[in-house]
Amino acid sequence: MIVLSHISKQYQALPILREVSLTLAAAQTHVLLGASGCGKTTLLRIMAGAMAPDSGQVTVDGVKVIAADPCPLAQIMGYMTQEGGLFPHLTAEQNVTLMAKVRGLPSAERKARLAELSSLVGIDERLLAHHPAQLSGGQRQRVALMRALFQQPKYLLLDEPMGALDPIMRRELQSTLKQVFEALRTTVILVTHDVGEAAFLGDTITLLHQGSILQHGSFLDLVQRPSDPHVTAFLQAQRPLPQLSELGS
Amino acid sequence: MNRLRPLILLLSWLLFITGTALPSKAAPPPSSRKIIVAAKPFTESYILSEMLAQIIDAEGEATAVRKFGLGGPTLVVDGLKAGELDLDVSYTGALSHLFLPQTPNPSRAELLTALRSHGLLLSESLGFNNTYAIAVRTAMAQTLRLANISDLIPHHTLRGAFTPDFLNYDDGFYKLQQVYGVALQSIKPMQHSLAYQALQSREIDLTDAYTTDGALPQFELTLLKDDRGFFPTYFAVILIRAEIAERFPKTWQALRKLEGQLSEAQMTAVNAQVDVHKREVSAVAREFLVQHKLIGNPRPPTRGAVLDEGLWIATAEHLYLVLSALLLSCLLGVPLGIVAVQFRRTGQVLIAVTSLLQTIPSLALLCFLIPIMGIGAMPTIFALFLYGLLPVAQSTTAGLLSLDSRLIETAKILGLTRLQRLRLIELPMASLYILSGIKTTAVINVATATIAALIGAGGYGRFITSGLAMNDVRVILKGAIPTALMAILFHALFEQLSRWLVPKGLQTEPARSP
């Protein structure tokens, strides 16, 4: 369980987060939803211990997170960013097994885990010999997901993992993620600005607006009992597909 | 770093190979039967020292090792005092200036005493007085009616260029100006052979010359008479370490047979054989020695003579200098670049210092280093290493700063420590930059290493130095062309190396669509 209490953060005198308090239960998928600049990525990085808040505190499983270099929670957290954050000079496999190697996991175990994960995320194992530049955007994200999952993390932090993908790949990866989340029952915190993605993947959704939480609840809660007109406005902002009848002959 | 390691290993290996291919670098131990003969970069010095070397070899007590083309009399005397050189042909005027600067016109006895305190001995004069003279174009001498130096007094618009030594000596040009009351429009320092060219193309009007200069007739120059007896005498003498004279008495005896053998006219004629007729120094020296029965049946020189010296020895020497310096530059430059990124303030200071080093002219830097490191390969390698530091450090810094900060952030979040990030992520990703810095350094080293000849470290520079000294383009090209080729080769080698060492994923390759 992750508990955030009264988290505030400024960047060059500009408030990014204001007094954010939030409790995220284990074994669920929590979506941090909001427009660009609402503070959702900053919040994710504070949870990971990559950045210290100006005030307030984070506890993970009851232990206070103290930001440090390298990240103190790296052992129990998997992390993945929009572009995947794969290192271009390493092959996909080297990217995936980087930390396991650094921590001295035997080669046989690494091989077994690679096979297991590549079938889980749906990537041909042969592709793992390639460098990131030789892979498609979707393949890169699957490799990044493998890297995030490799050490069986208790928490999975995903920062707009589908942000750079075209709609078809995005849809495929969303399905993959849903299967993975259900199979692993890991605690997932996923940052996105896509309402459909949030509704599809999230057990809970936290809608952020200008550094504050507008509403926290299930998608149904947000639709049926919006706490603020902004909530409804955000949920309906995505343009629906036009009806066939509207398109004329 | 794991990507750079093979490069370091390769460099060390190449260094070992070239190192073992070289004739011994350091000053030989006292037990060795070698006599190191020095020569300064002008024709007469090459010829006379070559004569000494051939006499030594003919005598058979020891073998001569030629260190020819050394930067100047001060350098050679320092080398003799330090025991890094054994003998040289010197001039009494120059020695008086160096050893008894306070005594005007010291006697031979005074000079001998001064030299003995430094463990040095002197032969009698070889016969000729090669003193300074002022040279002008013969045509100009006729129009302006110049015969004596004092005839220059009324002419204030003349332009002079003089060898740096002549400008610096107390009995050099500035003193001459005082004694004669001569005033010139401009005074520039210039190498001898260049000054003659400049004189011929009317860029300057007068220069200093030597009275035995073989090139004088070729350039149609007239020497002005020293009508006030200003110039001291510069009798040629053999300067030798006393220890060598004692250890090889027969050789010293044989060398002294040169005493009184060369008149001014003879020396000028011998010099002209090389300067004007472009004959090889070793051949001219051998011919003179045989004619004067100073050596018997000459053995054809197999190696070591100035111009027949195998190109491969020069190549090995050059490579040795370039590679050792490059290795040191990498070993210190890369960490320096890393420090400059991690600690900005300290880094800026360090980079500023290395930039400053870059601005020191190479010869000046060598002069600073000689009192500390002596002559030969050591100071050259050190100088090249200092020059190479900046490109390597700067390319490392540039490479590290060019990295995508989001990737570094990801590495932090994955849990890599600073050192692990540096080793596994940052340096490999910056390797393309770092290698290009190392390539620049290698190419600069190849070019700069040519100055090594001036301080006895050999390399291709020996041909360039002697070619310049004897105004022989063919000899200059013998050094210049291999230097250019080696620079191109290094360039190509590093292009290939970066294909091999830089991680595949960083080399531009089109992204493949699935």
Residues A160-213 pLDDT 10s: 888 778 888 888 889 999 998 988 889 999 999 999 999 999 999 999 999 999
Q: Does B402 touch chain A (CB under 8 A)?
A: no
pLDDT on residue A121 = 87
CB contact under 8 A, A88 and B505: yes
Interface predicted TM-score of the whole assembly (ipTM), two decimals = 0.88
Cis peptide preceding B30, ω within 30 of 0: no
**Domain boundaries A77-154+162-173, corresponding CATH code:** 3.40.50.300
Give the mutation candidate from A69, A75, A89, A135 for the B interface (greatest B CB count, under 10 A).
A89
Residue B348: Cβ within 10 Å count: 11
**Candidates A45, A79, A135; nearest CB to B414:** A79
Please report the pLDDT score of residue A81 as a whole number: 85
Is A71 close to B512, i.e. CB distance below 8 A?
no
Closest-CA distance, B326 to chain A, in angstroms, reads: 26
Which is higher by pLDDT, B20 or B311?
A: B311
* Confidence category of residue B93, pLDDT binned at 50, 70, 90: confident
Kindly state whether residues B181 and B193 are assigned to the same domain.
yes
Q: Is the pLDDT of residue A54 over 60?
A: yes
pLDDT of residue B511: 40
Q: What is the CATH number of the domain that holds B365?
A: 1.10.3720.10
* Angle at alpha carbon of residue B85, lines to B88 and B210, rounded to 5°: 30
Chain A residues with CB-CB distance to B421 below 8 A: 70
Residue of B nearest to A87 (CA): B407
What pLDDT does A185 receive? Answer: 87
Q: Is residue B379 part of a domain?
A: yes
B490 — pLDDT class (breaks 50, 70, 90): very high
* Residue B478 predicted with pLDDT over 80: yes
Residue % of chain A over a pLDDT of 70? 99
Do B348 and B404 sit in the same domain of this protein?
yes
Q: Could you say which of B410, B416, B418 has the minimum Cβ distance to residue A102?
A: B416
Q: B504 pLDDT exceeds 90?
A: no
Residue of A nearest to B508 (CA): A133
| Residue B358 reports pLDDT greater than 90 | no
Virtual torsion, Cα A169, A175, A179, A184, nearest 10 deg: 60
Identify whether residues B137 and B212 lie together within a single domain. Answer: yes
Q: Is residue B82 part of a domain?
A: yes
In the structure encoding, which two tokens stand for residue B461, read together? 């520079």
- Band of pLDDT at residue B246, cut at 50, 70 and 90: very high
More confident residue, B22 or B205: B205
Whether B414 is covered by a domain: the verdict is yes
Which residues of A are less than 8 Å from B420 in CB distance? 102
- Domain span holding position B452: 5-17+310-506
Residues whose CB falls within 8 Å of the CB of residue B311, separated by 6 or more in sequence, listed in order: B478, B482
Return the domain boundaries, chain A: 1-32+53-67, 77-154+162-173
Q: What residues 75-104 of chain A have any CB closer than 8 A to a CB of chain B?
A: 75, 77, 79, 81, 83, 85, 87-91, 98-99, 102
Measured CA distances, A125 to A70, A92, A115, A142 (Å): 30, 10, 7, 11
Average pLDDT over residues A126-135: 91
Answer yes or no: do B114 and B239 share one domain: yes
Q: Does A137 touch chain B (CB under 8 A)?
A: no
CB within 8 Å: B509 and A102: no
**Contact (Cβ atoms closer than 8 angstroms) between residue B334 and residue B29:** no
Residues of B in contact with A99 (CB under 8 A): 414-416
User: Who contacts B106 (Cβ-Cβ below 8 Å, separation ≥6)?
Assistant: B96, B100, B114
Give B198-226 pLDDT, tens digit per residue. Answer: 888 899 999 998 888 887 777 888 889 88
pLDDT for A17: 92
Residues of chain B neighbouring A102 (CB-CB closer than 8 A): 415-416, 420, 424
Minimum distance, in Å, between the CA of residue A223 and any CA atom of chain B: 35
Tokens 């597909």 correspond to what residue? A241
In this structure, of A56-60, B141-145, B456-460, the range with the lowest mean pLDDT score is B456-460
With 60 as the cut, is the pLDDT of residue A35 above it?
Answer: yes
Best residue in B3, B403, B414 for a mutation probing chain A (most A CBs within 10 Å)? B414
Among the ranges given (B84-88, B106-110, B364-368, B440-444), the one the predictor scored with the smallest mean pLDDT: B364-368
Based on the fold, state whether residues B205 and B270 are members of the same structural domain. Answer: no
Joined tokens for residue B364: 């000046």
Q: What is the pLDDT of residue A4?
A: 93
Predicted local distance difference test score (pLDDT) of residue A189: 95
pLDDT attached to residue B286: 92
Q: What's the pTM value of the predicted model, to 2 decimals? A: 0.73
Please give the pLDDT value at position B512. Answer: 40
- Mean per-residue pLDDT, B104-132: 90
Mean pLDDT of B472-495: 91
User: In chain B, pLDDT over 70 holds for what percent of residues?
Assistant: 89
Query: Which residues of chain B are within 8 Å of residue A71 when distances are taken between CB atoms?
Result: 412-415
CB contact under 8 A, A90 and B411: no
pLDDT of residue B28: 45
pLDDT digits (tens, 9 = 90+) for B364-411: 888 788 778 877 788 889 999 999 988 999 999 999 999 988 898 889
Residue B308 has pLDDT above 70, yes or no: no
Q: Is B420 on the interface with A (CB under 8 A)?
A: yes
CB contact under 8 A, B506 and A138: no
Query: Domain boundary at B184, B201, B224, which?
Result: B224
Contacts of A98 in chain B (CB under 8 A): 414, 416, 424
Same domain for B243 and B154: no
**Nearest residue on chain A to B427, judged by CA atoms?**
A89
Q: Is A98's CB within 8 Å of B407's CB?
A: no
The answer to the question of residue B480 being in a domain is yes
Q: How far is B500 from chain A (nearest CA, A)?
A: 13
Nearest to A89 among B417, B418, B429 (CB): B429
How does residue B265 score in pLDDT terms, banded at 50, 70 and 90? confident
Query: Measured between CB atoms, does B513 come within 8 Å of chain A?
Result: yes
> Do B149 and B12 belong to one domain?
no
User: pLDDT averaged over chain A?
Assistant: 89
Reduce the DSSP state of residue B472 to 3 states and report it.
coil
The pLDDT of residue B260 is 92
Count of C-beta atoms within a 10 Å radius of residue A129: 11
In the DSSP assignment, the letter for residue A239 is: P
Contact check, Cβ <8 Å, A139/B514:
yes
Q: Are residues B109 and B44 in the same domain?
A: yes
Looking at the fold, whether B405 and B488 belong to one and the same domain comes out as yes
Considering only CB atoms, B406 lies closest to which of A81, A88, A135, namely A81
Size of interface A-B (CB pairs under 8 A): 86
Same domain membership, residue B378 and residue B258:
no
pLDDT computed for residue B289 by the predictor: 92
Q: Domain ends where: B178, B206, B224?
A: B224
Which pLDDT does position B118 carry in this prediction?
A: 92
Please check whether residue B298 lies inside any domain of the structure: no
Cβ atoms within 10 Å, residue A206: 25
**Which chain B positions have a beta carbon within 8 Å of A100's beta carbon?**
none
**Inside any domain, residue B305:** no
Strands, E assignment, chain A = 2-11, 14-24, 29-33, 55-60, 63-64, 77-80, 155-159, 187-192, 204-209, 212-217
B402-415 pLDDT, tens per residue?
998 889 888 988 88
pLDDT, position B295: 84
Within this chain, do residues B284 and B335 fall inside the same structural domain, yes or no?
no
Query: In this structure, what DSSP letter does residue B460 have?
Result: T
Is B505 touching A (CB cutoff 8 A)? yes
Measured between beta carbons, which residues in chain A are less than 8 angstroms from residue B512?
130, 134-136
| Whole-number pLDDT of residue B359 | 86
pLDDT at B16: 67
Q: What is the DSSP string of B139-192?
A: HHHHHHT--BGGGGTT--S-EEEE-HHHHHSTTSHHHHHHHHT---SEEEE--H
Predicted local distance difference test score (pLDDT) of residue B22: 59
Question: How far does B470 lie from chain A, in Å, by closest CA?
Answer: 55
Q: What is the pLDDT of residue B305?
A: 45
Q: Does one domain contain both B318 and B359?
A: yes
Say yes or no for a CB contact (<8 Å) between A85 and B407. Answer: yes
pLDDT at site B377 = 84
Domain count, chain B: 3
Structure confidence by residue, pLDDT tens digits, A62-78: 889 888 877 888 888 99
pLDDT of residue B27: 46
Mean pLDDT of all residues in A124-150: 91
Backbone angles phi, psi at B191, to 5 degrees: -65, 150
Q: How far is B370 from chain A (nearest CA, A)?
A: 45
Rounded average pLDDT over B126-130: 91
